[in-house]
Amino acid sequence: MIDRENKLPLSQQVKLLHLSRSSVYYRKKPVSEGDPDLMHRIDRLHLDYPFAGSGMPRSMPKLAGRDVGRRHIRTLMKKMGIEALYRKTNTSKRNQAHRIYPYLLRELCIDHPNQVWAMDTTYIPMKKGFAYLSVVLD
């Protein structure tokens, strides 16, 4: 679309295509020669240890032969879209826009079967995807 050899200046070409000029002038940095192999190793480790952050793979035996810093591993993980699986902060902060429903069982005396049911569903991360676990309590 953008032709650098054209007589029309780049700024005019960008205006015609409704693009930002910074996107035309930006040049991606080339990937260093050792990074694809390192990215492959990080991906393998992430499959084995999905809870590992950027500091943990650095000390693992599969990467021990290479002198790689935590920040470089974090950069590569971000580039690959890999993130450690762990509980994030502020998971129980309520949304002010949501309505609060009353707890209907507070004053109820539960003394026989089939009177109250409860259900909960969660997912368990596994090597190749997730497994869902659902529990129904009587």
**Pair of tokens at residue 46:** 């992430």
The DSSP-derived string for 56-84 is: TGGGSGGGTTS---HHHHHHHHHHHT---
Count Cβ neighbours within 10 Å for each residue of 85-107 and write b for 16 or more, e otherwise: eeeeeeeeeeeeeeeeeeeeeee
pLDDT at 133 exceeding the cut of 60: yes
pLDDT at 31 exceeding the cut of 80: no
Q: Domain containing 25: what range?
A: 1-30
> Residue 125 belongs to what H/E stretch?
strand 118-126
Q: Evaluate whether residue 75 is within a structural domain.
A: no
Residue bearing the bigger pLDDT, 101 or 87 = 101
Q: Evaluate whether residue 38 is within a structural domain.
A: no
Q: How confident is the model at residue 62 (pLDDT cuts 50, 70, 90)?
A: low
Residue bearing the bigger pLDDT, 18 or 27 = 18
Q: Evaluate whether residue 5 is within a structural domain.
A: yes
Instruction: Answer for the pair 45, 62: CB distance below 8 angstroms, yes or no.
Output: yes
Average pLDDT over every residue of 117-131: 85
Coil vs helix vs strand at 88? coil
Q: Evaluate whether residue 78 is within a structural domain.
A: no
Amino acid 117 reads W
Total domain count, the chain: 1
Average pLDDT over every residue of 18-40: 83
The C-alpha atoms of residue 94 and residue 84 are separated, in whole angstroms, by 24
Instruction: Answer for the pair 131, 123: CB distance below 8 angstroms, yes or no.
Output: yes
Determine if the pTM surpasses 0.85: no
- In the chain, % of residues over pLDDT 90: 8
Average pLDDT over every residue of 22-27: 81
pLDDT at 65 exceeding the cut of 70: no
